[in-house]
Structures are given as C-alpha cells and as structure tokens.
Structure 1
Amino acid sequence: MEAPFEKELPAGPINKSMLRYLYKLLSTTGMPKKILSIAALLSIASSMIGLVWPVMTGRFIDQFSTGGINGLLIILLVGVFLMEALTTGVSYYMLAYAGNRTVTMLRKRLWSKTLALPVHFFDNHRSADVMSRISRDTDEIRTLITEHLISFFSNVLTVIGALVILFWLDWRLTLVVLLAAPLGAAVIMPIGGKMYKISMNMYEQLGQFASVLTQVIGEIRLVKYSNAEKREQKNGFDKVDHLFELSMKEAKVYAVLSPLMSMIMIVLLTTVVAYGGMRVSSGALSTGVLVSFVLLLFQIMLPINTFATFYSNLQKVSGAVERLKPILEAEVEDEHDEKGAIMPILTQDIVFHNVEFAYSSEEPILKGINIYMHAGQVTALVGPSGSGKTTIFSLLERFYVPDKGLITYGERSIADFDIASFRSKIGYVSQESPLVDGTIRDNIMYGRIDTVTEAEMIEASQQAYAHDFITSLSKGYDTEVGERGIRLSGGQKQRIAIARALLRKPDILLLDEATASLDSDSEHEVQQALEHLMSRCTTIVIAHRLSTITNADQIVVLEFGQITGTGRHEELLNTHSSYAEWTNKQFRQTRSHDPQRLID
C-alpha cells in the first residue's frame, strides 16, 4: 500500500529538533566549512562597510551646505562603495559555491542511500515522493544556505550596528524607530505559522500530483486502450485545482503580509522624516545627520524585510528535513553485512528450510516451505495466483528476509554472502523483461561492473538468437530502445534480456517463463535462447506451459502459501488430484490454440 512519508505535521511552525538534525546532516555531508567561513566574514564585512557610507554621506552634505567640499572624503566614499560591492560579490559567489556543493553532496548521499534501500521501502512509499524528496526538498536546503543563512546573521549584525550608530546620531529618533519592532513581530509571527501549514500541504499535493503524472505517463498505453483519458484528465484536474487553491491561500497570506510590512515601513519613514525635519528646523539636528539617519534607516528596513523571508524558508526547510529523514535513517540492504562471503565458483544446491514470510502482520504468504533444489536442475513452481510463487523468487533475490526459517546455498545461509556477490550469480528473465532507456548495447551490458569485450557481448547475443535482428537495424547495437524498450517488439526485448542474463554467466536462473506472452515465431527463438541459458544454471521457473512442467526435474505445487505436492510430472498426475485437474483443465482449454500452454 502506498503512503506518503509524513504521517502528520510537526507540532510547531519551526521544528527545532529538525534544525538540529539538519545541522548534523550538513556537517557530515561534506559542507565546505572554510569557504563558508570566508564567505560569512566577507558578508559581515560588507554589512559593516554598508554602515559607513551613510554616515560619510551625511558628513559630505553638511560640508556641502557650508560651502566646502573635501576631496579626500569623496575619494573615501567612492572607495567604500567599491569595497562594499567587491565584498558583496565575492561573498555571494562563495556562498553559492558552498550551498550548491553541499546540496550536490547531499543529493549524492541520498541517491546512494536510495539505491541501497530494500525493496520493502519502495512497497510503502510512492516513487514520485522519493524523487521529490531528492530534488525539490534538497533545493530548499540549497536556497537556505546560498540566499538566507549567512545573510540572516550579517543582517542581524547590520541592524545592531545601525541601531548603535542611530543612537549615537540621535537617540530620540531611534526610540521612534524601535517602536515599530514589536508591531512588525506581531505581524510576522502568526502569518509565518500559516505559511508553514500551507507550504507543507503544498509539498504533499505536489508529491501526489507527481505520482499521478508518473503513473499515467508511464502507463499511457493502458490509459488509451482502456479509454481512460477522461478519468485521468479529471483526476489530474482535481490535483491541479487543489494546487491552485493552495497557491491562492499562499497568495492571500502574501497579499496581507506584504502591504502590512510596507505600510509599517512607510509610516515609520514618514514619522522619522517629519520628526527629524522639525528637529532640523529647530537647529537641534543638522541636515546631514538627518540624511545619514534616513539612509541608515533603510539599511535597517531592508534586512528586516528579509527576516520574514528567512523565517518562511526556515519553516520550509524544517518540513523538508522532516521528509528527508525517513530516507536517511532507513536501514539499507547490506547494513548488517560485515565482510559477507564471496559466492563459491561451483554451483551449489539451494534449500528452503521451513521458511515463513508475510508482507504485513496479516496472514502469511508462505507457511513452512521446504524445497530442495538440486544444482544444475530445473525446479518448476506451479499453483494458483497468490499461492506464493513470486514471493519465493523475491526471497531468493534477497529483496525480503524470511520471517522464520532459512534459505541456504550449499552449506551456508544466503544471508551470509555479500549481497552484491550473491546477486551477481543470479539471472532473471520475466514475461516482460524490463529495458532501460539507452542503446541495445547499454541494455545487454547492464549490471556488469567489470569490463565486457565486444566479442563477449556478441557471443551472448548470438546465443540468445538476438545478434541477427540487432545487426539488421540501421544502428545495430547502438540503436536506441526507447523508454522501457518501447521501440522493440516483445520477442526482441526478451532476447535482449536473455543476452543480458547470459552475459552475467549466472549460477541461478529465475525464470518467470519468458515465452508465455509471445507469438509462435518469437517463442521458438526465445525458447532456444533459454535452453542455452538453462543448460548452465540451477533454474527455478514459475511454470506457465506444459512443456516446462513435463521437462522439469522437479515440480513444486503451491496452494495458499503451502507446498501440497512435490515430484515429476507423471508422478503428480497420479498422486496429486488438484495438479491433475489443473493440467487437464488448462490443456483442454488451450489445445485448440496452443497445446503446450498451461496458464496457472
């Protein structure tokens, strides 16, 4: 069952524990601390320089009003402007580098962790949600570092420094300014809480919308031949409309927040200018000091205006970290593999020892499974849908761990082997063998981390009866297959998948019989390719055809997660009533079309 990451929103607008977790995460991700420190110092220097030129400007105006112009003061003023521009530019670039570098390392860490997560993690989380976490949520962290974090602290210093200078220039006017601070905080804090809830809901809806897009676009043929365009159009429109509603809620908040902040600033500025003008006219204050005061007031207003943005971004980052945490803290497949054993060279027997397994706390899928699969032989699994055949495959591939019992390879549990070494010895061919977007060459070599020669690839393709059709294509092995191999026929995809399995040189072959959905022409060639592959492996096949069962060294009959019979075809026909009934029934139903088919 699919489920979003977050079960509920954090208790408060800013989750402090998540911010601590973020700090620890960034510290261990490889954040360039030296560059960030230099950028912080430059940003602080820029802020401090920004406090100098308003005072110098006031002095310049006072000198101009008295008829004297100090050339040195002009040179110093220009120098201050240049220094502020230089420090601002360099600090911005260094912050951008630090932020992007940090998020790049974080994304790499998340991507590596995602690839190492067990299959059951993806059973419980939407793929679109996982993609959104790695891309969108990490971008919020990047924005915080590059645009807000250091600037927030430098802006705090700017405000403090400006207030000190304002008190020095005229403490009465400064008290007028300070009266606006509680008013601004009273406006920002409650609105910020609403922004947090809206942002979290927006993330959730974006994840759901991405999930709909992924599902529909990925299965567009199903949508079209099912005439489900209208249904999916309505589903998509509902998601888009919900996003629109949330966007408008966000717009309403900004529509209130922005004018309120502007009004506070305008009223404050008007009050300062009016009161300051009165003091200038009375001679208690010079014009230059008033100009310096107003310029410094702007130096305060601009940072304060960014505090609301910083607060909003901090809320989003807190939510983003909350959503990244399940990925980062999930247990990976080989977390308990400490120097796992390497697979033996010679093929070994595979044995299920009283294995039980359940996907949830409900009724177990497998109950007390005992199977002895002899090395180099073919074991066929038959039984009705839901009897546990695919689950046995999943346990052999170590996608899941048995709840009870043991699976051994030779004398050792399969859990004792290094998981990469174990899987390197497994070949898997299904009814619809998946292909990745890329060339035929990419797909045949997919999964081989060692060097593969052209001759090896061609040999595997020839054994899979794929070489002739590949070379008949205009670009041969460099032909693009398209997403999920859409540009190839079913038989062509199967033969490429078999070539890929042959190239792996597996000891264990898991075969969800690959010819079940093919036409007779393609089936003959694919069957020949499979015989090449099966001749060198211990083969476990989910049987769909009578030929597979009659030729199997061992047939295992599964019903409701239990083994109800084991033996060869002739033996089970005489001793297992359900097996004999299935065989005869399916043979009669399909004989006029395909006398070899046995659909379980």
Structure 2
Amino acid sequence: MSFRRLITGIAALGLTSILLNVCGPRLLGHTTDLIFSGTLGGDRRRGIDYHAVTVTLAVTLAVYAVSGLCWILQGRLTTRVIQHAVSALRQEAGTKLSRLPLSYFDRQQRGEVLARVTNDVDNLSQSLQQTLSQVTNSLLLVLGIIVMMMWISPLLAVIALVTVPLALLGALAVGRRAQPQFARQWQSTGELSAYVEEMYSGHALVRSSGRGPDAVREFGERNRALLLAGFRAQFLSGLTQPVMSFVNNVDYVLIAVVGGLRVASGTLSIGEVQAFIQYAWQFSGPLSQLAALGNVMQSGVASAERIFEFLDAPEETPDPPASTAPPQPRGRVTLENVSFGYEPGRPLLRGIDLDVPAGRTVAVVGSTGAGKTTLVNLLMRFYEVTGGRILIDGADAAAMTRHALRSHFGTVPQDTWLFAGTVADNIAYGVSRLVTREEIEAASRAAAADHFIRTLPDSYDTVLADDGAGVSAGERQLLTIARAFLADPPILLLDEATSAVDTRTELLIQRATERLSAGRTTFVIAHRLSTIRKADLILVMDEGAVVERGTHAELLALGGLYARLHAAHAGRGTGTG
C-alpha cells in the first residue's frame, strides 16, 4: 500500500474516531435527562423510560466501541508509516555515508557521526511514534469538542476557551527556552559517544600509558555536561504540565459555578451541564497531553536537526554518466601537473608529473606530512585533484566512475581493517565477483597466511571478533594481503606495515608483498628504506612536491634528501647497509 493511501486511511480513521468520541458525552447527558425527568422532572408520574435509557446506553456503548476500534486501526497504520519512513531515513543516512568525501570524516569524530546515524534516528523514531497520531487526534478532538460545547452553551464555551490563549502562551514560552537545551543535550550525547568510541578503540594504549584515571575524569566531565543539559531540557519542558493543570482547574471552577446558575434559571438541563463538564474534561485532556508531549517533540526536533545537518553535508562530486575506463586495464599510471589543496590558495601538493609504465614499482618516501598518503588518496579519488589530471591507461580518472576506477586498485594499508565475520568472509571482502573456497585458500597460501589460519579453532570458518581482535597485528596484515591476492588488481597500493611486527613475521609479509607486486604496477609508501632498494623508481617528497626521483643507487649518489634519510635510517639500524 502506498504512503498516500496509508495517510488517507489514517486521517479517515482518526476523523471517524474523533466524531464518534465527541458524540459520547452528549448521549450520556441525554441518558441523565431521561432518568432525571422520570424521577424528579415533569415525567415523574410515568417513571423512568427504561427502554429509552437502555437504547441510549447501548448506542453510547457502540459509539465508544467503534471509536476505540478506529483508534486501534489508526495506531497500527501510523506505526507502519513511521517505521517505513524511519527505515527509509536510515537507508538514506547509510547511503549518505558512502557519498561523503574522505575530507568529511577527517573533520568529524567517528563517534559523533555514529551518534547521528543511530542514536538520533532512534530518538526521532520514538518521538514520532509517541507524538504523531496523538498530536493529530488531539487537535481534531479539540476542534470537535469546541463545536459540541458551542452547541450546548455558547456562554460556557466562551468561559472554557477564554483561558486557552494564556495556557498556550505559557507553553510556547517554556518551549522556546527548552528547545536549545534539547539541542545541547543531543550534542553532548554525540560528544560523549565519540569520546567513548575513541577511548575504547585505544583502550590498550590508554591503560599502558597510565592515562586511565585521566580518561575516567574526562568521561566524568563530559557525562556531567550531558547531565546538566538533560536536566535543564527535561525540567523546562516539564513546567508545561503544571501550567496547563492550573488553567484546567480554573476552567472547572468557572464552569461549575456558571453551569449551576444556568440550571437553576432553567436555561440548561442537568444532562447538558453533565455533558459540558465531560467535554471540558475531554478538552483539557488533549491540551494537557500536548503539553506533556512537548518535551518529546522538542527532543525529536533536536535530533531531526542533527540528522538533516548530516544529510545536507556536501557530497563527493557526481560520477560521470558513462565511464571511460579502459576495457582491459594494464596498469599504466600518469600524473600531469597534479596539484591538490584542502583550501583554495593553500596547496598541499604542487605540480607533480609522473609516468609509470605497467608493471613497474614506484616507492614514495619523505618525512611525515610530505604528502605521501595524500598522493595515494588522489590516485583512488578519495580526494579530487584541484589542478592537473591523473590518467589510468590513458583514460582520465575524473571521467571514470569511482567504482570503475577503484576496481583497478588493490590496497594493503598499514592500518588493517577486519570486520566481525569468518576468516574466509574477511578475505573475500571487496571482491566484486563470486569466489570459491579453493580460490580463497590459494590466495591465503600465496600470502603465507594459510598456515596460521589452519591453526585457528575452525580454520577458515573461525569467526573473528570486531576489528580482528583475537589475531595478531602481523596475522591481520597477512589476511589483508590475501584479500589483495584474491582481488588480483592491475595496480597495487602498499602502505608498509612491518614496523610493529617481529622479525619472522616481517620477512613473511615482505615476501608476500613481493609476490603480490610481481607483474603489477605498484606504489609503495615506504617507511623503512630497506624495503625499497629494488623499486624501479623512488620519489622523494618534501612539503608537497617531488624534490628527487631515481633509483636507490642514483639517489644515494646524488647526496640529497634521500641520502640523508638513508643515513638517518642506517644510523638507527634500519637502513640497507
């Protein structure tokens, strides 16, 4: 069923329920008049007309039963609409994550992003579930009650309504003060989530460096900020209910006094006054309900603002409508006067020219911040070049879809990433085609990972914990290399990751990466200069520019920056000797 039909059904059921509900007090008032007339009124000689009373009560019971049934059906449809809408919102948020540029995540804490996609969406769902149908029904009920009260007694209706503007003004004043506090509450929630995520992911370092008490103290400060924001938001929004209750009590007093005088003068019957008092009670109920839901609505609005701020974040430039990717990529990479900067006028990379034939190995070295990782990110189009262009086998990378471009690359990052799943699933992750267990095992053997995998409790079916907990750093790196073997890309990007492993594992990783690089165009971000002696070309970067290029022997003979870096590494026992 379409959303339009669902909304129409919700409106029809709500309207039917409200119309029947507002008829109930009038029918009960008529019943009271029948009983009063048969006992104390003009018809007391004939007695109570039990048949008329029975019929009226039966009609009243049926009215309330149908009204309740419509209310239940409306609630079911409303829940369906809300859950489908929130599911679509989650889907849009998940899709948004894949369209955001890498620079967005460079500026945002991961925990803050996760809080917007999970906590804020859940809070918005709960807020809509609690308020949408109730707010709509309350407004319709108020309108129907006003019509019935005006029908019974315009004077009493005016008395009942005269205090409503005061109540609404009070509720609006409270709401304006509470709304910023709810926004601050959910901002503090996101900040606390981000801090917990950071401290948990670095738990071992926090404990080993003795920063545990500092982390606890920082958590306490952020938790207290959330406490204060939540207290202010809930306290201010909670003031609405006492204001509405006071107004309702004033209404009851005025209606009781004036209604009694009208009965004494014969203008109204007791049943009409009874019905009016019921309407007054029903009238105050929706208003009090709206006031009580004020904090829920304000909390939902605050979450909605955070969600739509995330959804409105600038996205990556759209892919071209048709890709110009070469049909049979070989791996030639060309950079023509490539420049890049995060901000206009502040270039990070400047005028890089490079032509790498297929099958060659290029090592990129330089000090921290020289632009090595940025250059690799440009090849993968995680960032867009601000000047020049990058060609893959003669095709402009900017004219290719990102999926087509990245299918040419295989990466072995320094920071390995594994997910909660089997070893086989982790190795096969990122491979667009269907792979067999034999192919996975063959890739593992090529990466020297097969032996340790078979020592795991369930071999390739062993379920790894989140982020690969349970296997060592070197073993995680071997699994990442096996993943690259399985993908079989024409171009390989290696971010060396042997600095934190033992000597034996380092040799295994080096041999596996050498086998993986054979016959492929390979870019190596070199941290240990001893690993790049055999590179066909070494680029030396400094402050965003390629300052030297050549083979290992040529650069040593040049006696420039590379020679100084090599001497420094050799002095620490990590050079080539």
TM-score range, shorter chain: over 0.9
TM-score (norm 1): 0.90
Work out whether residues 334 and 391 of structure 2, in 8 Å CA contact, stay in contact via their aligned partners in 1.
yes
Aligned mate of 1:444, from 427, 448, 461: 427
Structure 1 counterpart of 2:441: 458
Structure 2 counterpart of 1:342: 325
Offset of residue 578 of structure 1: 2.2
Structure 1 counterpart of 2:468: 485
Aligned residue runs from structure 1 range 531-570, under 5 A: 531-570=514-553
Alpha-carbon separation, structure 1, partners of 2:113 and 2:2: 23
Structure 1 counterpart of 2:153: 170
Aligned mate of 2:191, from 198, 208, 229: 208
Alpha-carbon separation, structure 1, partners of 2:313 and 2:297: 25
3-state SS of paired residue (2:352): strand
List gaps (5 residues or longer) in structure 2: 39-47
Structure 1 counterpart of 2:49: 68
Structure 2 counterpart of 1:219: 202
> Residues 413-438 of structure 1, C-alpha deviation per residue, up to 9 Å, x if partnerless?
11122211211221111233221222
1:58 and 2:29 correspond: yes
> Residues 291-317 of structure 1, C-alpha deviation per residue, up to 9 Å, x if partnerless?
111111122111112333565555445
Structure 1 counterpart of 2:12: 41
TM-score (norm 2): 0.93
Offset of residue 509 of structure 1: 0.8
**Match for 2:239: what amino acid?**
V
1:364 and 2:353 correspond: no
Offset of residue 320 of structure 1: 3.7
Work out whether residues 140 and 313 of structure 1, in 8 Å CA contact, stay in contact via their aligned partners in 2.
no
Offset of residue 281 of structure 1: 3.8
Work out whether residues 458 and 467 of structure 1, in 8 Å CA contact, stay in contact via their aligned partners in 2.
yes
**Match for 2:491: what amino acid?**
I
1:253 and 2:236 correspond: yes
Seen in structure 2, the aligned counterparts of structure 1 residues 130 and 588 have a Cα distance that, compared at 3 Å, is closer
Alpha-carbon separation, structure 2, partners of 1:445 and 1:44: 55
Work out whether residues 324 and 395 of structure 2, in 8 Å CA contact, stay in contact via their aligned partners in 1.
no
Alpha-carbon separation, structure 2, partners of 1:63 and 1:138: 54
Percent identity, please.
Answer: 28
Work out whether residues 325 and 395 of structure 2, in 8 Å CA contact, stay in contact via their aligned partners in 1.
no
Alpha-carbon separation, structure 1, partners of 2:308 and 2:324: 31
Aligned mate of 2:258, from 275, 278, 284: 275
1:351 and 2:322 correspond: no
3-state SS of paired residue (1:544): coil
**Match for 2:27: what amino acid?**
M
Structure 2 counterpart of 1:500: 483
3-state SS of paired residue (1:581): helix
Structure 2 counterpart of 1:17: none
Seen in structure 2, the aligned counterparts of structure 1 residues 346 and 192 have a Cα distance that, compared at 3 Å, is closer
Alpha-carbon separation, structure 1, partners of 2:457 and 2:157: 79
**Match for 2:19: what amino acid?**
M
Aligned residue runs from structure 1 range 398-437, under 5 A: 398-437=381-420
Aligned residue runs from structure 1 range 286-325, under 5 A: 286-309=269-292, 315-325=298-308
Aligned mate of 1:511, from 494, 499, 505: 494
Aligned residue runs from structure 1 range 126-137, under 5 A: 126-137=109-120
The answer to which of 213-222 and 433-442 deviates more is 433-442
Work out whether residues 31 and 101 of structure 1, in 8 Å CA contact, stay in contact via their aligned partners in 2.
no
Alpha-carbon separation, structure 1, partners of 2:131 and 2:548: 67
Work out whether residues 361 and 523 of structure 2, in 8 Å CA contact, stay in contact via their aligned partners in 1.
yes
Alpha-carbon separation, structure 2, partners of 1:539 and 1:107: 38
Offset of residue 82 of structure 1: 0.9
Alpha-carbon separation, structure 1, partners of 2:526 and 2:127: 55
Offset of residue 569 of structure 1: 0.9
Offset of residue 150 of structure 1: 4.3
Work out whether residues 343 and 417 of structure 1, in 8 Å CA contact, stay in contact via their aligned partners in 2.
no
3-state SS of paired residue (2:70): helix
Alpha-carbon separation, structure 1, partners of 2:222 and 2:310: 25
Alpha-carbon separation, structure 1, partners of 2:503 and 2:31: 94
Aligned mate of 2:61, from 78, 99, 114: 78
The answer to which of 248-257 and 238-247 deviates more is 248-257
**Match for 1:467: what amino acid?**
D
Aligned mate of 2:222, from 233, 239, 242: 239
> Residues 461-516 of structure 1, C-alpha deviation per residue, up to 9 Å, x if partnerless?
11111111111211111212222212101221111000011111111111111323
**Match for 1:572: what amino acid?**
L
1:159 and 2:142 correspond: yes
Alpha-carbon separation, structure 2, partners of 1:181 and 1:98: 32
> Residues 13-68 of structure 1, C-alpha deviation per residue, up to 9 Å, x if partnerless?
xxxxxxxxxxxxxxxxx972211210121011111111011001111112122222
Alpha-carbon separation, structure 1, partners of 2:313 and 2:241: 41
Alpha-carbon separation, structure 2, partners of 1:89 and 1:444: 50
Work out whether residues 556 and 562 of structure 2, in 8 Å CA contact, stay in contact via their aligned partners in 1.
yes
Work out whether residues 413 and 495 of structure 2, in 8 Å CA contact, stay in contact via their aligned partners in 1.
yes
Seen in structure 2, the aligned counterparts of structure 1 residues 334 and 438 have a Cα distance that, compared at 3 Å, is farther
**Match for 1:213: what amino acid?**
V
Seen in structure 2, the aligned counterparts of structure 1 residues 346 and 114 have a Cα distance that, compared at 3 Å, is closer
Work out whether residues 40 and 150 of structure 1, in 8 Å CA contact, stay in contact via their aligned partners in 2.
no
The answer to which of 238-247 and 84-93 deviates more is 238-247
Seen in structure 2, the aligned counterparts of structure 1 residues 164 and 445 have a Cα distance that, compared at 3 Å, is same
Work out whether residues 567 and 575 of structure 2, in 8 Å CA contact, stay in contact via their aligned partners in 1.
no
Alpha-carbon separation, structure 2, partners of 1:164 and 1:431: 72
Aligned mate of 2:76, from 93, 98, 103: 93
Work out whether residues 511 and 539 of structure 1, in 8 Å CA contact, stay in contact via their aligned partners in 2.
yes
Seen in structure 2, the aligned counterparts of structure 1 residues 97 and 157 have a Cα distance that, compared at 3 Å, is same
Work out whether residues 381 and 557 of structure 1, in 8 Å CA contact, stay in contact via their aligned partners in 2.
yes
Aligned residue runs from structure 1 range 104-115, under 5 A: 104-115=87-98
1:102 and 2:85 correspond: yes
Alpha-carbon separation, structure 1, partners of 2:72 and 2:11: 12
Work out whether residues 431 and 517 of structure 1, in 8 Å CA contact, stay in contact via their aligned partners in 2.
no
Work out whether residues 343 and 422 of structure 1, in 8 Å CA contact, stay in contact via their aligned partners in 2.
no
Alpha-carbon separation, structure 2, partners of 1:115 and 1:512: 23
**Match for 2:11: what amino acid?**
A
Alpha-carbon separation, structure 2, partners of 1:184 and 1:418: 58
**Match for 1:126: what amino acid?**
Q
Offset of residue 364 of structure 1: 2.1
Alpha-carbon separation, structure 2, partners of 1:406 and 1:460: 34
Offset of residue 343 of structure 1: 4.3
Structure 2 counterpart of 1:12: none
> Residues 268-303 of structure 1, C-alpha deviation per residue, up to 9 Å, x if partnerless?
112212332333344432221111111111221111
> Residues 366-402 of structure 1, C-alpha deviation per residue, up to 9 Å, x if partnerless?
1111122221011111111111111111111110011
Aligned mate of 1:196, from 167, 170, 179: 179
Seen in structure 2, the aligned counterparts of structure 1 residues 314 and 362 have a Cα distance that, compared at 3 Å, is farther
Alpha-carbon separation, structure 1, partners of 2:315 and 2:180: 32
Work out whether residues 431 and 516 of structure 1, in 8 Å CA contact, stay in contact via their aligned partners in 2.
no
Alpha-carbon separation, structure 1, partners of 2:312 and 2:221: 33
